[in-house]
Amino acid sequence: MRAEGLCRRPRNSSLTGLRLVWLYPQDLSSMERRNHTSASECLRLGLSSRPEQEELIFGFFLAMYLVGKAGNLLSILAIGSASRLHTPMYFFVSQLSQVDFYFLSATIPTMLENIQTQTQAISYGTCLGQIYICILLANMDNFLLTAMAYDCYLAICHLLHYSSKMSLRGCTLMLGSSWAIASLHALLHTLLMAQLDFCASNVIPYCFCDLILLLQLSCSDTRLDQFMIVLVGGLTVLLPFLGILGSYTHTAVTVLRVHYTRGKQKAFSTCGSNLTMVIPFYDTISGVHLRPSSSHSTDKDSLASVMYTVVTPMLNPFIYCLSNKDTQGALGKLFSQKALSHRL
């Protein structure tokens, strides 16, 4: 993905005065002839420098959107319809599916609309809203993955204390705390971004609004923003990641001491499948937001952003829920009951 453009906003203009406009390469020369457009617009190239690739990109993202939406919806239905799945582990899996269901709607519909209609315009206020939602939901993914790892750790290593620590009240408290911290984290960065001015020519490298993107566009002093990204982002990303690795490591050590072969295989299969999604998620999100600004690469950052905002929410339901025989049985029973009800 390649993007070049101009972005200007008067220092005394309101937040809603800035519009981010996606342009195709053939449109840039005509805009340049009009004195680089008005001072309140930001010009940006599309997802590809080749217009003939737009249909392929549109179909690719549309397919991921539909698959991800369907997978997360099926996970929610399966867990909600089967009483035997009303356990702490599946409670967090259901919440993860709900978060990912909305996460897919945060960026892809706008991208598809831009490609289809070729209007390529988004207000600065809408862009800030997109940043807030992405930070909020990415944090919730982060905290829910941590809660699931903690649940697995308690179930295998401290089974006697499992019922007391993973009660309904305990799970609700963990979920509520996660939403509160995620909301404050997203609000912090959004308010800091609202104080910045945008008045210089800049390159817009991503296919959707991103925190790092707007910092690169700003002509204000962004040292405070960058410091808060490293400090708060480090606490909310690295600490949960270390907790997840610690939980799964302790779980693996405990399982190795068990002589029951089938139990070992099941436990390692569960931990292994979880880590296949946990490691890429944290690797991409930390690579985009926690690296020094001098080491950022347009292509790598774009790919990493798509990974944690699109690919991970699409694959999560298949890794954590739909590959399980219990949820498959619950879905089969649910649809058979609906089919029987329809026939009656």
**Is there a contact between 211 and 290 (Cβ–Cβ < 8 Å)?**
no
Domain boundaries, the chain: 53-111+132-196+221-330
Report d(CA 202, CA 21) in Å as an integer: 13
The predicted model scores a pTM of 0.79
Q: Where are the beta strands (DSSP E) in the chain?
A: 19-23, 41-45, 121-123
Token pair listed for 323: 């590959």
- Structure confidence at residue 11 (pLDDT): 44
CATH of domain 53-111+132-196+221-330: 1.20.1070.10
Q: Name, in order, each residue with C-beta under 8 angstroms of 136's C-beta and a sequence gap of 6 or more.
A: 182, 183, 185, 186
Amino acid letter, residue 29: S
- Structure confidence at residue 188 (pLDDT): 93
CA dihedral of 193, 194, 196, 201, whole degrees rounded to 10: 80
pLDDT in tens, the chain (344 residues): 434 433 444 444 444 444 444 444 444 444 443 333 333 444 444 455 556 677 788 888 899 999 999 999 999 999 988 888 899 989 999 999 999 999 998 888 887 877 777 766 667 777 788 889 989 999 999 999 999 999 988 988 888 889 888 999 999 999 999 999 999 999 999 998 888 877 654 445 556 677 877 777 777 788 888 888 888 888 888 889 899 989 888 888 888 777 666 666 666 666 766 777 787 788 777 766 666 555 555 556 667 677 778 888 898 888 888 877 888 888 888 888 665 566 55
Task: For the beta carbon of residue 154, count every other beta carbon within 10 angstroms.
Answer: 20
- Structure confidence at residue 218 (pLDDT): 76
Q: Name, in order, each residue with C-beta under 8 angstroms of 47's C-beta and a sequence gap of 6 or more.
A: 1, 53, 54, 57, 111, 115, 207
Report d(CA 281, CA 304) in Å as an integer: 9
- Structure confidence at residue 94 (pLDDT): 93
- Structure confidence at residue 184 (pLDDT): 94
